[in-house]
Amino acid sequence: MAKSKRVHVAVGVIQNTNGDVFISRRHAHLHQGNKWEFPGGKVEADEDVYSALCRELHEECNITVDAASPLTAIQFDYPDKQVLLDVWMVTAFRGAVQQKEGQEWAWVPVHQLEAYPFPAANEAIIERLLTL
C-alpha cells in the first residue's frame, strides 16, 4: 500500500512569562490519539507557514500571534502517515491562551515535558527546547 502524501503542519511552541510551554492532549479518535502535542495544524495549499500558524493558533488557542520565529523543521514517517512539522517559537501574542477544541491542556515547564507522552515526531521538538 502506498503511503499518503506528506502532511505539512505548522506547530507553535507558546511560552508564558514563566517560561512554561502550552500543550494539549489529542482527542482519542485522532492519529496519535491521547498523546500530548504542541498546538498547530495543517498548512493549506494557498497559505504560507506563518499565516497557517497564526490561523491555527487563533482557532485552537484563542490567541493572536504578534511575533514568532522558526525553531526547527522535522520530517517524520509514521507507518501510516508522513509529516513535516514546521515548528515556530511564539515570542509575542495577545489573548488568554485556552484550548478551544475541548482538549485537556496544561502549561508545563520545559524540563518536565519528557514526562508527558508525545507522538514520536514531537520528541525532536522537546530535545531542541531542552537545549535553549
DSSP 24-64: EEPPTTSTTTT-EE-SEEEPPTT--HHHHHHHHHHHHH--E
Report whether 47 belongs to an annotated binding site: no
Q: Is 40 one of the annotated binding-site residues? A: yes
Report d(CA 53, CA 37) in Å as an integer. Answer: 15
37 marked as binding residue: yes
Annotated binding-site residue? 34: no
Q: Say whether 26 counts as a known binding-site residue.
A: yes
128 belongs to an annotated ligand binding site: no
60 is annotated as contributing to ligand binding: yes
Q: Is 93 marked within a binding site?
A: no
Is the CB of residue 3 less than 8 Å from the CB of residue 82? yes
Binding site listing for Mg(2+): 40, 60
Residues annotated within the binding site are 26, 31, 37-40, 60, 122
Please report, in range form, the residues annotated as the binding site for 8-oxo-dGTP: 26, 31, 37-40, 122
